[in-house]
Amino acid sequence: MGDGRIRESKKPIIIRPSKIPGGPSEVRLREDAFVNDFNQGRRRSFHGKMASERDRERFRRAIDLYKDSGAILTTHDVPDGDGLGAAYAIKRFLQSKYPSCRADIVVSQQIPHTDRLIEALGIDVCGWDRIPPQDDRPIIVLDTNSLALLTGARILGNRIHMIIDHHQKDVGREDSSSPDADVEIINIKAISACEILASIIPKDEIDERMALALASGIICDSERLKLADDQSLVIFQRLRKASGWRRDRIEEVAFPAPSSQTVSVLIDEMKMVRKSILHERLVAIGRTQIEPAAILSSALRDIGASVVGVLGEISPSLHKLSLRVNVRDAHENDLRADEIARKIGRICGVPENKKPGGHIDKAGGILPGSFEELSEIIFENIKEEMDRVFGKSIR
């Protein structure tokens, strides 16, 4: 494996031996042990339909490769329940097949918001500093396909073997932040990475803890199911039943209400937010002490702000940006958070390898500059993009 990359084998897979003329007695499985052992020629059923048969087959082959190579599972900076739930479900699935497989969930930072989920599931997470540089296990990236949101990960583009995600891939541009992986399972119709996995791992192989992890991911990404459509709701209900947990208990661990201390700080910070109404939409720009900055941006989105930029102070001259655009404007009107973040990065002179970006409705990055300078740049760029998208406004 000279370049450390694992390639999918081109061998044909026979998934349903019963369909082969001559009947089961004559079936010769030319396939690897995985299909033989775990598929056993049966038709499998799944909790959802967010993945194709081809996706499932590619996933099975990848899992089979990790048997010997082991794997590192990771997710975006500022991990959330969807990324962690998906990583946990895969790790558990992998180790239920291959108990000696070396699989680790590695994150760039641990966020207090996810403590209860980590505790409820007993997830083992570690930081990248615990992974020696010579560790060349293939990387599985969950819940993002943007290197701009993997700044904390020690990732060389060519080591990412599999991506499972529900965000649109950033393609067709020179400065794309989407890495290419051998196996990419991306469905932008899904609201969470977890429901894609619930459509890939056979129903009868999802145990209670995996079901809880996947249900938690859906809760987390759908704002407690508020944004879930009928399909996502059905998948959630099936997983919830399989987990044996009540919905309110899952919500408590997956999407915990912030502590009263956090709420108190949040209220103060909300008062200081700079508010502007542009094209009949509320644009809010603020600063926060709360880690992650996304707590303030989510709160502002919750009360109806359409476009939100929040800066978390790293030092007086360095800030972490969390940028959000409401889903409808992002998808239907092409008001793209990643586009705005990229422009801001260029204006701030962020070096090429650290450039901001992310997904259509959620982006971020580290920006040099004081809060006052940056909030002005952010406002101007949001306004410029909104003028472009909705037509020039009169000042």
> In whole angstroms, how close is the CB of 236 to Mn ion at the nearest point?
14
Sign for the pseudo-dihedral over CA of 289, 291, 297, 298? negative
In the complex, minimum distance from the CB of residue 389 to Mn ion, in angstroms, rounded to a whole number = 25
Rule CB under 5 A: say whether 165 interacts with Mn ion: no
Under rule CB under 5 A, which residues in 297-336 are in contact with Mn ion?
A: none
| 127-156: contacts with Mn ion (CB under 5 A) | 143
CB of 193 to Mn ion, least distance (A): 5
* 195 sits near Mn ion (criterion: CB under 5 A): no
Smallest separation (angstroms) from Mn ion to the CB of 388: 28
Taking the least distance from each CB to Mn ion, the nearer of 199 and 381 is: 199
Between CA 274 and CA 281, with CA 278 as vertex, the angle to 5 degrees is 90
Distance CA 348, CA 370 (A): 11
Question: Is the link from the previous residue into 292 a cis peptide, with omega within 30 of 0?
Answer: yes
CA dist 114 and 129 (Å) reads 20
Exactly one of 64, 82, 182, 269 binds Mn ion (CB under 5 A); that residue is 82
Distance from C-alpha of 336 to C-alpha of 110, rounded to nearest angstrom: 28
Of 119-127, 184-192, 198-206, 227-235, the segment contacting Mn ion by CB under 5 A is 184-192
From the list 51-59, 76-84, 341-349, 376-384, the region that binds Mn ion by CB under 5 A is: 76-84
Contact 164, 185 (CB under 8 A): yes
Q: Which of 64, 77, 104, 221 binds Mn ion (CB under 5 A)?
A: 221
- Residue 349, phi-psi category: left (phi > 0), alpha (psi -120 to 50), beta (remainder): left
What ranges make up the beta strands (E) of the chain? Answer: 71-75, 103-107, 125-127, 139-142, 160-165, 183-186, 274-278, 281-288, 307-315, 318-325, 357-358, 362-368
* Residue 192 vs 262, nearer CB to Mn ion: 192
Which one, 283 or 341, has the nearer CB to Mn ion?
341
List of residues contacting Mn ion (CB under 5 A): 82, 143, 192, 221
